[in-house]
Amino acid sequence: MASSLDALGGLLAMSEPAPNLEARALSPTVGWLVLVCVVAFIALCILHADRFRRLWMRAEDPRTLGLFRILFGLMLLLNLSGMWEQLEFLFTDEGLFYTDTARRVLGGKQFAGYGEGVDGEAVGFFGPAAILQFLEGPRYSLLMFRSDPTFFWIHLWAYVAVVVVFILGWRARLMGLLAFALMTSLTMRNPIYMTGADVVFKVFFFLLVLSRSGHAYSLDNWLRCRRLRRAGRLSEPGGPGEGAGLAPSDEHPKGLEAIYRRIPAWPRLLMMMQLATIYFYTGCAKTGGIWAAGDSLYYALNLDHFYRAPPQLLSSLFGTNLFRLMTWGVHVWQIGFPLVLVGLVARFQIREGFGPGRGWRRHATRLLWMLVGFGALGVTVVALPVHYEPMRGGPSTVQLQWLVAVGWALGMVALALGWRRLRDRPLHLRIRGRERVIDLESVCTWLLGRRLWLTIGLFFHVQIFMLMNIGMFAPIMIMVYLCCLNGTETASILRSLRRALARLGGPFAGLRPSGPPVPAEDPSLPQLHRDAAVMPAWALGSALAAAVALVLAEVEGLGAPWPGAMVWLGLAALVIGGLVGWRRGRRDTGLPADAVPWAYGPLGRGLATVVVVTHIGAVALHCIPDKDSCFAFRREARETVAPWLRATQTDQSWGMFAPNPLRSNVFLKVLVTDEQGEVWDLRTDANSPRNKDIPWIWYDRAGKITRRVNGDGKWYRRWFARYHCRRWALDHGGELPRTVELVKVWYSIPTPEEVAGKGYYRPADLLERAGHEKSVAKVRCAFEEDGQLTNELRERHGFPSVDEGAIQRRNPRRQQTWERNHPGG
């Protein structure tokens, strides 16, 4: 067994690309420069902690997240429908993996303390330590314990029912948690099918569960308003408070409740940061020559697994011109999308009246921003030699480094001067007789605002959705744009939609709005949080210093007690600072009556801040690029945050079509030889030109499964062939075939220049004329592990039992090993 594992490890090592030793040698320097940038930025946040608190910990209108809950739930159901044909293949013991095999293959470490009932071992966990190891994740799935079709369908319909109740908004927080748990239980059974859209669903669902999305457009809020109306305590449009609530008075001693209570803003802000992370990560990952040449859209549209209708004629006309402009434009847009967050923060500071700071605080701010800027420049200049190959007639590496350094520095100066000029002395221009003022707010609204960047994204995703069938990725990405709107904007859009539908007449006539949107809860109501408690800057600074000391201790290899001491010092600083801030808050005056209130009291704000900082830090460290120039620190950084990401199901990677899109169309034939020696082609690759319906409307996961088996999931190949052994037996009265063979089929996509010069091609003709075939796996079903039906499955389908010796299973005995490694556990 050990020798076979060693051999497998050797094969995997040979298949991996050789490391760039020069880049790895630079990685420690890159790591220190990145640390300087991170520490400087965190210090900036501490220096301006009042702005951080006001942005993240405020209470806001709930209607955006209420609508988000409804649309997100509908998208979940649509995404599930796209897997309908593969559900039993993916998630049951009649599919790719038997239940015990799934535990061993997909969750071996997690289930190391779980007995399979072999040779007298108990079935189940061996003790508390085994349960704790299971809870470390990530396969939190009921289907890892039982996955027969009956149990699976009960599980599935329970999930669907909970999602429907979540959409309706009854017990929204509880139903959201249950739906998230059931979705995780479903998806963690088998990851072979997962696409970028499935990861989007995972990471946004966690953030949605953290929110109070049931405070608007929900049965919860409707029932609450009905109870308050009966008690005479609801503020309604046209009455006292106009629906926004009313403070206690002689007429209303207990006051009136608002229709839409305010909710914490930070979950929505985390959604916006997650959206920016998706685009920025995938844009930065597209470093290949095909993207630089502008040919990525051409190749993506000509992948037979994706296009809805043959694009070859369009490609011959626009592949060398319009498609290239679109490719470059999308690439720049993806990398630049985080500018939306810059515009958001800048406009918030202007709206809230935050100035540039005074005295030492202003100078410290400038110094820290310079550290961030020059630290990032240092990373770029240091890593550039291993990412750049000088071309004939082009600049040398050293020349390019100087050009980048000088241009970067001049850009920082221009940005600082321009920012200051627009903030303090706006430009006044006269255009067509009208004076136009160009100030910082207008620039942030237009150049760094949502209307530009989201509009480009909307056109991009609609175009992709019309031309390519990539499942729910485009619809879910368009839907999550909703998180970039505040509640008032959402209410105004819905009001406009109602007015438009009312104009159609008939059954829609009653939808005409009778007045302006109902306002959110009045921020001046006395029951809202307005305390002055703040975490002292010295406590935050001490915690940052302890964190830096912890990093230094780990790098220098200092053992106990130093790492633990740094952790406890940081925690002690925060706890003591929290108590000091709470005591001061009881004495000082809180927020002004007209200011946006806090989402929570002091303790709630502290806990929410911990969640926000932890999640942002975990995602940022997890998304460190998988490059040799990050070799010295990437693995350690990811291992540090892995427990949080596993527990929240927010581990992520956004390398779609990166670093280059595929330039070949790859398919998979499944050839079955039956007992009579006849060979059958199962035609399983539904996205192949020989099988594909045109136009292709409904998404099918067969293409993703094919790409996974042919590509980075090569280890699936024998399991996939074994599944077809069993599937054939289920469909043929229990009779096994002799062999199952997987044949990789592919052809190269002609270059844009070729189709521009010679005209468009027909995929089926090119596949037949220039296609290649290669056998990638072949199994003899009677002798292959898990290649036969177990007697349990045979009995389930009414087939006669066979001798257990004819069933090839691997039944590991774990208890002895577990007890040896965990004495007393």
Instruction: Encode pLDDT of 350-371 as tens digits.
Output: 998 898 888 899 999 999 999 9
**Which comes out higher in pLDDT, residue 294 or 3?**
294
Q: How far is CA 238 from CA 242, 251, 533, in A?
A: 5, 16, 37
pLDDT digits (tens, 9 = 90+) for 639-674: 999 999 999 999 999 988 989 999 999 999 999 999
Instruction: Confirm whether 175 is domain-assigned.
Output: no
Instruction: Flag whether 597 is in a domain.
Output: no
In this predicted model, what pLDDT tens digit does every residue of 212-221 receive, in sequence order? 999 999 999 9
681 lies in the same domain as 764:
yes
Q: Can you read off the two tokens belonging to residue 454?
A: 């989201």
pLDDT tens figures, 533-548: 999 999 999 999 999 9
Last residue of a domain, one of 558, 590, 622: 590
776 and 680 in a common domain:
yes
Residue with tokens 């670093």: 659
Q: For residues 102 and 468, what is the distance between their CA atoms, to the nearest angstrom?
A: 33
Share of the chain above pLDDT 90, in %: 79
Specify the number of domains making up the chain. 2
- Enumerate the H helices of 514-630 as residue ranges: 537-555, 562-587, 602-622
141-152, pLDDT tens digit by residue? 999 999 999 999
Calpha distance 115→811 (Å, rounded): 10
Quick one: pLDDT band at residue 589, thresholds 50, 70, 90?
low
Structure tokens at 452: 């530009």
Question: Does one domain contain both 671 and 782?
Answer: yes
The SS3 call for residue 392 is coil
DSSP 8-state code for residue 199: H
* CA dist 157 → 28, 153, 605 (Å): 51, 6, 38
pLDDT of residue 757: 94
Q: How many CB atoms lie within 10 A of CB 506?
A: 8
C-alpha pair distances (Å), 541 with each of 457, 523, 556, 606: 39, 32, 22, 16
Do 241 and 256 form a contact (C-beta atoms < 8 A)?
A: yes
pLDDT tens figures, 785-815? 999 999 999 999 999 999 999 999 988 888 8
Using DSSP's 3-state secondary structure scheme, residue 10 falls into helix
Residue 519 burial (C-beta neighbours within 10 Å; 0-12, 13-18, 19+): buried
- Mean pLDDT of the 402-407 span: 96
In a domain, 726, yes or no: yes
Token readout for 555 is: 């790098």
User: Which two tokens mark 296?
Assistant: 């990525």
Average pLDDT over the chain, rounded to an integer: 92
Residue 189: Cβ within 10 Å count: 25
Give the confidence band of 17 by pLDDT, cuts at 50, 70, 90. Answer: low
Residues 677 and 578 in one domain: no
From 539, 566, 590, the end of a domain falls on 590
Phi then psi for residue 795, to 5 deg, are: -65, -40
Using an 8 Å Cβ cutoff, are 694 and 304 in contact? no
Phi, psi of 152 (to 5 degrees): -60, -45
Asked if residue 336 has pLDDT above 90, the reply is yes
Q: Is 203 a domain residue?
A: no
Radius of gyration of the chain (CA): 30
List the beta bridge partners of residue 234: 257
Is the pLDDT at 340 greater than 90? The verdict is yes
Q: Is residue 121 very low, low, confident or very high in pLDDT (cuts 50, 70, 90)?
A: confident
| Cβ proximity of 387 and 26 under 8 Å | no
Confidence of residue 310 (pLDDT cuts 50, 70, 90): very high
Residue 433 has pLDDT above 90, yes or no: no
**Mean pLDDT, residues 504-519 taken together:** 85
DSSP helix/strand/coil, 26: helix
Q: Which comes out higher in pLDDT, residue 596 or 397? A: 397
Placement of tokens 């209303």 in the chain: 252
Average pLDDT of the segment spanning 597-608 = 94
Supply the DSSP symbol for 800.
Answer: P
Strand partners, 60: 263
- The answer to the question of residue 672 being in a domain is yes
- Asked whether residue 263 is assigned to any structural domain, the reply reads no
pLDDT band at 8 (very low <50, low <70, confident <90, very high): very low
Domain that holds residue 707: 664-788
Mean pLDDT is highest, among 348-352, 473-477, 562-566, 703-707, for 473-477
pLDDT at 532 over 80: yes
Number of CB atoms found within 10 A of residue 179's CB: 25
| Cβ neighbour number for residue 593 with a 10 Å cutoff | 11
Cα gap 328→321, rounded to integer Å? 11
Q: Are 273 and 341 in contact (CB under 8 A)?
A: yes
The DSSP annotation for 231-289 comes to TT-B--TTSGGGGS-B---SSSTT-BB-SS--EESHHHHHHHHHHHHHHHHHHHH--SH
Asked if pLDDT for residue 696 goes beyond 90, the answer is no
Residue 739 lies in a domain: yes
Q: H-helix or E-strand containing 679? A: strand 679-681
Beta bridge partners of 672: 680, 740
| Cα-Cα-Cα-Cα dihedral sign, residues 186, 190, 191, 193 | negative
Amino acid identity at 304: D
3-class SS letters over 80-108? HHCCHHHHHHHHCCCCCCCHHHHHHHHCC
Burial (CB < 10 A; 0-12, 13-18, 19+), residue 401, is middle
pLDDT for 13 beyond 80: no
List pLDDT tens digits, range 700-749: 888 899 999 998 888 999 999 999 999 999 999 999 999 999 999 999 99
Sign of the CA dihedral running 496, 497, 498, 504: positive
**124 SS3 class:** strand
List C-alpha distances in Å: 189 to 97, 106, 163, 574, 689: 9, 8, 19, 40, 31
pLDDT at 825: 63
pLDDT in tens, 619-636: 999 999 988 999 999 999
Which tens digit of pLDDT belongs to each residue from 156-187?
A: 999 999 999 999 999 999 999 999 999 999 99
Q: Are residues 689 and 578 in the same domain?
A: no
Do 574 and 672 lie in a common domain? Answer: no
Looking at residues 764-769, what average pLDDT do you find?
92
How far apart are the C-alpha atoms of 170 and 178, rounded to whole Å?
12
Instruction: Tell whether 669 and 779 lie within a shared domain.
Output: yes
What would the mean pLDDT of 113-133 be, rounded to a whole number?
A: 89
CA separation for the pair 529, 795 (Å, rounded): 64
Count of Cβ atoms closer than 10 Å to residue 609 Cβ: 19
Neighbours of 536 (CB within 10 A): 16
Q: Which strands, in side-by-side order, build the sheet including 739-748?
A: 679-681, 664-673, 739-748, 772-780
The answer to whether 297 touches 326, Cβ cutoff 8 Å, is yes
Distance CA 83, CA 73 (A): 16
DSSP state letter for 509? G
Amino acid at 540: L
pLDDT at 563 over 90: no
